[in-house]
Structure 1
Amino acid sequence: MGNTTTLANITTFNSTATCALSPRARVLSSVLTGFVGTIFTGLSSGPLVAFMIGWICWFASLRNVLVGIYQVYSVFRLELPEGGEHFFRFLDHFTRHDLRRWSDDFFRGAVVEKVSFLGWMGWMYTTLYSPIIQVLWLLENWGKASTGLKIARAIGVGVAALPSTLDTRARYGEALGRLCGWPAAWLFGALTAASTITLACVSVIELGLAAHELVKSAWVAIFYVIAYVVFTLVWTYGSLVFASPHDEAKDVGIKSILGGVAVGAFSGFFVAAPALGVMLVAPDQPGVGLSAYLRCEGATWWQKMVAILP
Structure 2
Amino acid sequence: MKTVRLATRSSPLALWQAEHVADLLRAAHPGLEVTLVRTDTLGDRRLDVPISEIGGKGVFATEVQRLVLDGDADAAVHSAKDLPAVTGEGLALAAVPERGDPRDALVGATLDGLAAGATVATGSQRRRVQLATLRPDLVFTELRGNMATRLGKVPAGGAIVVAAVALQRLGWADRIDEVLGADLLIPQVGQAALAVEGRAGDAETAVLLAAVEHGPSRTRVDVERAFLAELGGDCDLPAGAHATLDGDRVHVQALLAGDDGTVHVEEAVGPAADGESLARGLAQDLRTLATA
Common topology (TM > 0.5): no
- Which is richer in helix? 1
TM normalised by structure 1 equals: 0.23
TM normalised by structure 2 equals: 0.24
Higher relative contact order structure (alpha carbons within 8 Å, sequence separation ≥ 6): 1
